[in-house]
Amino acid sequence: MTIREIEELSGMPRANIRFYEAEGLLRPDRDTNGYRNYSEEDLRILQKIRLLRALHVSLENIRQVASGKRHLEDVLSFHLRALRDQEEDHRSSREICEKLCVEQAEFASFDAVPYLDLLEKDPAGEDIGFEKYGSDAAYPWQRFFARELDLSIYGLIWSCFLSLGMHVNIRELSVGMMILGIVMQILLLILVEPFLLCLTGTTPGKCLFGFRVAATEGRRLTWREALGRTWQVLKQGYGLQIPIYEWICLYRSYQACKAGKLLGWEEESRITKSSCRLPVRGILYVAVSAFLAAAGFFIWQAGAIPQNRGELTRR
């Protein structure tokens, strides 16, 4: 069956199907024309994945079960214990809410200390009821501009290397050198962004807009998880920056994000946004973009200055 058919039968978006295929959970055959041909077994696997993900089983556990490294019963037993722990946390919160309602507590007058004392600490040492990770963020345009700012920084680093390190006149670059510049920009993104995400949970562009990236359970991404996320963004979101195809991928990602659908690189991560007025972040974005443009201009000028190759004379 085609991707459209299996998308309709499984009830799963195409981006997610491609993601699971990239993760090795699906291995569809190829027709003579090169198109994927999904089987009934592929459909059953997708339905199983959809069910387990709906139960909040992690993708890593699903991968281990599918590969035979772990038994489904063991994974579900462990997951069931975690759900019971969460249920106990919710029970404590529900009891305190009921107590506040019975006592007809008013915000201006009630004493919170006795109720705080009733709250137990969770295993991470955080108070039950605190909003730990924030809310999932859509904000397609802000996320796009955050990514573009990061790409501008990587492009500026490459320009700085060419101009100041190699003394190349950037304004006279050949088509081949321009293509090389795009490739180097991508390589810098792949090298730097995973390190920033696993270390700080954000990047310069994301930080400016208040975005943070974490695993679905709230912890920091590992380097491998961050690398996989960055690669999926480049491949599915930016089409590896291939002309025309890049804008098609961007448009598809925008429509999916706007519709609240889960993007292919968000299976094992979530992006949250801190509260801050958009005009403030917009002003900061314009200021930083202007600074990068000015820095790029001076770097280009430096590369255009002929390099001194001899001693200065009086003439």
Please provide the DSSP assignment of 73-106 as one string: HHHHHHHHHHHHHHHHHHHHHHHHHHHHHHTT--
* Per-residue confidence (pLDDT) for residue 310, from 0 to 100: 53
- The token duo for 9 is 């039968």
- The token duo for 302 is 């430096």
- The token duo for 248 is 């098609």
* Per-residue confidence (pLDDT) for residue 132, from 0 to 100: 36
- On the CB side of 74, how many CA atoms lie within 13 Å of its CA? 8
* Per-residue confidence (pLDDT) for residue 128, from 0 to 100: 37
* Per-residue confidence (pLDDT) for residue 92, from 0 to 100: 72
- The domain spans of the chain are 3-67, 83-118, 140-304
Cβ atoms of residues 92 and 118 within 8 Å = yes
* Per-residue pLDDT reduced to its tens digit, 13-68: 877 888 888 778 888 887 776 677 888 888 888 888 888 888 888 888 888 888 88
* Per-residue confidence (pLDDT) for residue 134, from 0 to 100: 37
Residue type at 83? Answer: L
CATH architecture of 3-67: Orthogonal Bundle (1.10)
* Per-residue pLDDT reduced to its tens digit, 204-229: 888 888 888 887 656 788 888 888 88
Contacts with 14 (C-beta within 8 Å, 6 or more apart), sequence order = 3, 4, 7
* Per-residue confidence (pLDDT) for residue 135, from 0 to 100: 39
Taking 50 as the pLDDT cut, the residues of the chain under it are: 121-136
- The token duo for 245 is 């195809």
- The token duo for 301 is 């000028």
* Per-residue confidence (pLDDT) for residue 277, from 0 to 100: 61
Strand 36-37 with 29-30, pairing: antiparallel
* Per-residue confidence (pLDDT) for residue 80, from 0 to 100: 82
